[in-house]
């Protein structure tokens, strides 16, 4: 194996780091700010036809006003199951029934609850940073292995620098997402 054959797959590392960012976005979407959004229901699953199903697959989710989410359930027999799933989801929302339409009035968040949510957001961001650092470690391990297989020291330093730059860029994105989300949560 010659030196020129040794290649570290930065695209793969970048893709895996992007996966950590995508996961963080999903977790942030489930954090309730003072405003209504359809994405707040994404983590809620309903038992439909013998399997767990996301709410948006049993009804139409709408946000008709800033503090209201509605779900128009397609199958009348599913309305009570959807309502139960929302009550048990831990979102802290009290569903109101109106035929096949379930209305979810979003209460104002108090200061204490806002502070709790910013801490939760911080934990989510830290998990994303750890995931990104784990990908970096994998990349650094690949470089060490390549050095053992004959990679020059200059190439090793170059690759390590590339992997570190990739990591720093992704960590910066996590920090930016977190700052935006915390600002959104604290907005009254």
Residues of the chain with CATH 3.30.1360.40: 35-105
Name the DSSP letter for residue 109. Answer: P
pTM of the model: 0.66
Q: What is the pLDDT of residues 62-92, one digit of tens each?
A: 988 888 899 999 999 999 999 998 888 767 7
Residues of the chain with CATH 1.10.132.20: 9-28+110-186
Fold type of domain 9-28+110-186: Topoisomerase I; Chain A, domain 4 (1.10.132)
Given the structure tokens 């935006």, which residue do they identify? 180
Q: Locate 13 and state its tokens.
A: 């590392």
Report the distance separating Cα 4 and Cα 23, nearest Å. Answer: 36
Which residues are registered as beta bridge partners of 60?
72
> Which own/partner contact pairs does 154-162 have at CB distance under 8 Å and 24+ positions apart?
155/3, 155/6, 159/8, 162/8, 162/10
Fold type of domain 35-105: Gyrase A; domain 2 (3.30.1360)
Q: What is the pLDDT of residues 116-163, one digit of tens each?
A: 888 889 999 999 999 999 999 999 999 999 999 998 999 999 999 999
Through-space distance between the first and last CA atoms of the chain, rounded to whole angstroms? 62
Average pLDDT, the chain: 87
């Amino acid at each position: 194996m010659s030196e020129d054959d040794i290649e570290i797959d930065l695209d793969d590392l970048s893709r895996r780091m992007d996966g950590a960012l995508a996961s963080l976005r999903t977790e942030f979407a489930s954090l309730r700010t003072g405003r209504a959004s359809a994405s707040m229901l994404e983590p809620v699953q309903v038992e439909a036809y013998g399997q767990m199903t996301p709410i948006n697959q049993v009804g139409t989710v709408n946000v008709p006003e800033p503090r209201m989410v509605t779900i128009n359930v397609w199958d009348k027999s599913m309305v009570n199951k959807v309502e139960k799933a929302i009550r048990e989801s831990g979102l802290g929302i009290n569903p109101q029934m109106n035929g096949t339409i379930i209305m979810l009035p979003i209460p104002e968040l108090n200061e204490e609850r806002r502070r709790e949510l910013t801490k939760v957001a911080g934990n989510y961001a830290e998990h994303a940073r750890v995931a990104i650092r784990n990908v970096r470690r994998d990349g650094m391990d690949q470089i060490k292995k390549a050095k053992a297989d004959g990679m020059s020291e200059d190439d090793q330093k170059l690759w390590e620098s590339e992997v570190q730059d990739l990591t720093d860029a992704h960590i910066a994105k996590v920090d930016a997402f977190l700052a935006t989300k915390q600002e959104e949560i604290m907005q009254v």
